[in-house]
Amino acid sequence: MGARAGRSVAPRHDHPRSQLAQPVQGAGPRERPRQRRGRRAACLIALLEREVKLGAGPAFHLPDLAGVIEGVAVAPPETVRMETVYYDTPDLRLARWGVSLRRRAGEGWTLKLAPPPSTPGKPGVVLERDELTFQGSATKPPEAALEVVRAYVRKAELVPVARLSTVRRRVRLVDATGTRVAEVVDDEVSVRDGRRVAARFREIEVEVPSSNGVEGADGTEGIIAPLVMRLRGAGAGAPDPTPKHIRALGPRAIEPPEVSPQPLAPDAGAKDVIKNAVAESVAALLHHDPLVRTGRDPEAVHQARVATRKLR
């Protein structure tokens, strides 16, 4: 399970989600916004995650972030340890659709949805994803979370596919009222295969919480951009939105999903055109289905209807 020792997992920079774990040689509480109520697939917490991920080598040290953002102070750093288990179908359907379901000790179950097709995550920009948190047992994914991803999972069983142990060094940036404006974390991640460490990698994240009152992409970029500039000046790598579990799972997790539209050749025949049009509509319907189920985005209902009409 996870990355296997000895396999080649060098980063594939030709893929936007390609920074995989390198083979081995030889938990603090989250701020919790208000609960969401009245959903068909009820969750305890719903928020919009806005972050940039950066690579980092062994020699990287977090720089002093004081003065990077005017009027923002740097809180004392914290170090926490996190144990995380990711669940997916045996053929990694969730990962291949850009979705993740994890259980982290002390935090419960977290489901992260893929960005909609119209706003895919790209290196160098802020990655925005809906993040839903659920209560449940320690060993079985909660039914409410399964309902959200039913279109992807269908009748397949979800099983543990990756286990990560993380040492997180966290620096919070707060305003004059003590409200968290942003958070920078330095994660040293170990991919576990039983008691054995199969691979290790390091990642820097800059996150702006949705509860800080910052609205819109411009406001978020105004906070994240100077922090990323300071981190890159200290030796951090280029932005790469590859999630941790994708890096741990390796190339199989970045294969196309079971429905994947392909570019058409200029001389494509009618059969290929029709086949691709059907694939585009099915993919759009599957992308928007979780947002329809949770009620997170009213536009998702419209887009799902558009995709359905095209299939008629």
> What tens-digit pLDDT sequence spans the chain (312 residues)?
544 443 333 333 334 433 455 555 443 333 333 444 444 445 667 788 899 999 999 999 999 999 999 999 999 999 999 999 999 999 999 999 999 999 999 899 999 998 755 544 444 468 888 999 999 888 899 999 999 999 999 999 999 999 999 999 999 999 999 999 999 999 999 999 999 999 999 999 999 987 655 555 557 788 999 999 999 999 999 999 899 999 999 999 999 998 888 888 888 888 888 888 888 888 888 888 888 888 777 787 777 787 788 877
Burial of 108 from C-beta contacts in 10 A (0-12 / 13-18 / 19+): middle
> Within this chain, do residues 84 and 204 fall inside the same structural domain, yes or no?
yes
Are 193 and 74 in a shared domain? yes
Same domain assignment for residues 225 and 282: no
In terms of residue numbers, what domain contains 157? 22-254
Total domains in the chain come to 2
Same domain, 138 and 281: no
Residues 58, 170: one domain?
Answer: yes
Distance (Å, whole) CA 195 – CA 85: 14
Rounded distance, CA 312 to CA 303, Å?
A: 15
Do residue 211 and residue 305 come from a single domain? no
The answer to whether residue 261 sits within a structural domain is no
Q: Would 198 be classed as within a structural domain?
A: yes
33 secondary structure, DSSP code: -
Half-sphere exposure (CA, 13 Å, Cβ side) for 49? 22
Are residues 197 and 274 located together in one domain of the fold? no
Closest among 35, 146, 34, 130 to 87, alpha carbons compared: 146
- Is residue 204 in a domain? yes
Q: Please report which helix (H) or strand (E) contains residue 156, including its range.
A: none
Domain annotation covers residue 262: no
Are 136 and 284 found together in one domain? no
The CATH code of the domain that includes 205 is: 2.40.320.10
75 with 110, same domain: the answer is yes
Q: 291 and 165 in one domain?
A: no
Does a structural domain hold residue 4?
no
Q: Which residue has the tokens 């799902």?
A: 304
What proportions of the chain, in percent to the nearest 5, are helix, strand and coil?
25, 30, 45
Judge if 118 and 241 occupy the same domain. yes
Q: Angle of helix 298-311 relative to helix 270-294, nearest 10 degrees?
A: 150
Q: Which of 221, 254, 287 lies at the terminal end of a domain, its last residue?
A: 254
Q: Are residues 303 and 171 part of one domain? A: no
